[in-house]
Chain A
Amino acid sequence: MAKRLLDFRDAAAVAGVGYTPFSKDSGVSTLTLACRAVLAALEDAGLTADDVDGLATHRVGDSAAPSVVGPALGIAAPTWYLDHFGGGSVSHAVVGQAALAVAAGLAETVVCYRAINARSEFRMGTAPNPSPETQYLAPYGYGAPVQQFAMYARTHMLKYGTLPEHFGQVAVRQRSYAAANPRALMRTPITLDDYLGSRPIAEPLRLLDCCLETDGACAVVVTTAERARDLRRPPVLISGAAWGGGDSFLAPGEPTVTAAAALAPRLYGMAGVGPADIDVAELYDCFTYSVIVQLEDYGFCAKGEGGPFAASGEGPPVNTHGGFLSEGYVHGLNHVAEAVSQLRGEAGERQVPGAEVALSTAQPGHILAATSALVLRKG
């Protein structure tokens, strides 16, 4: 392995977070959503667009590029930008790369954003997919994310005895958190019977296993830890950031192990923490199953035990905003923003008492061959 030239643990911080409302039809362009979220995050940090010298996003042909958002907000000639191809799997890499850029001095104030009209304009899976694997899947009516995750969920059930009730408890618990989150799209409590009675989408997954196709945007401001201490809000340090790895749908490997299993040691190693130190975990929940498999692959329980572990509620509180299942789904950044709220102690009724260290994760690598995650720490 190459010599590490730059240790950027705690070098950068999240200084602000911003959202647009989440809805089923924003009525505006993704450019407008992006601008609103970027400005909201800057306002939260006590900064203006004049302070911004870096912009970063990820997209799959479905949203506004930094090269468009910058000029639209009068941000002249950023010194650093990132326009990352990819969906949820790279969502946390965008923030990690921004932290790295800030630590390296390539930019001082980077706004990371994700803006999507994922219900009213580009429904999930309808953006052009350049993967050469699509030709082997699409002719069978296969390839939508819910189908892919259903295939992996079934494998986990067959191999480890994971039950629908385990998936259901994830959905029920997250909805109970969402009831305390004014931003959440779905706040009415559900029961396990509601879950089991919800209609099948791609068996073994049901409607209530699925995240919410959402219109909305989220943004976070990343700057140096030193500068963040002088800004409006309590800083949240980026202690660990890791991205990479992954496998494809047609790969021969074991489908119940995700890219997160290889990434977790690097992530925890950089941050100097382990799973037992995590006070709150925002785990990518495109579907309930992805929470279960990440509880295993991020080391909260042994491989195969994720179902009973998740159902019992052991381990740190997970997806305290309701997650993508109940708050809304803007592809990952709203997990980072919720972790920041928790570490600032500003999460209101859903606040995890004394939360100091948070894990926030991206889609764990079944789709588009990568994953990414952050460890955040109260500054």
Chain B
Amino acid sequence: MSVDRDSAEWWDLVAKGVLAVQRCSSCGLARFPARAFCAACRTEGWSWAAVAPEGLVESWIVSHWRAAAPFTVVRVRLAEAPRCVLYGTWRGEQEPRRGQRVRALFADGPLIEWTA
């Protein structure tokens, strides 16, 4: 999977164990995924802002993909940046629950995974 130019730095931060969102320099909006422009104020200035690697489970699926063992993917809304939604592999013995508070695991890849 190729990483695009807008997102390369975000993935570099993930590789260092940092979960970041963009913070608009003009209006302060926290946004994800990485984009040059703020969709609220349409300006280009921004900086990375590390956020707590925590969120709330919004939904999940259990995927049965050909020969692979079933795996669960969660949709998570970041606790400190509720406009930002991420998807990732679920690492847990139990099925996730709606609204469950979860934290990010930084896995090789780099990848973001989620656990209780």
Contacts and interface: CB of A to CB of B under 8 A. Distances in A.
A201 B3 CA distance: 28
Given A139-B1, A140-B73, A203-B64, 4 more contacts: A136-B33, A141-B68, A200-B64, A255-B59
Interface in A137-192: 137-142, 147, 150-152, 154-155, 158
B58 A155 contact: yes
Interface residues of A, number: 30
Contact of A136 (B58, B60, B82, B86): B86
A281 to B, nearest CB: 27
B7 A135 contact: yes
A199 interface: yes
Contacts of A201: 63-64
Nearest to A149: B61
A202 interface: yes
Contacts of B2: 135
A369 B29 CA distance: 22
A157 to B, nearest CB: 9
Contacts of A137: 87
B59 A151 contact: yes
Contact of A154 (B11, B61, B83, B85): B61
B106 interface: no
11 contacts: A136-B7, A139-B109, A140-B87, A141-B65, A142-B87, A151-B73, A151-B75, A152-B59, A250-B87, A251-B85, A252-B82
A136 B33 CA distance: 8
B73 A158 contact: no
B3 A135 contact: yes
Given A132-B4, A135-B1, A202 B62 contact: yes
Interface in B36-86: 58-65, 68, 70-71, 73, 75, 77, 82-86
Nearest to A134: B1
A138 B32 CA distance: 17
B29 to A, nearest CB: 11
Interface in B76-109: 77, 82-89, 98, 109
Nearest to A157: B59
Given A132-B6, A140-B73, A158-B98, A151 B61 contact: yes
B49 to A, nearest CB: 16
Contacts of A154: 59-61
A204 B63 CA distance: 9
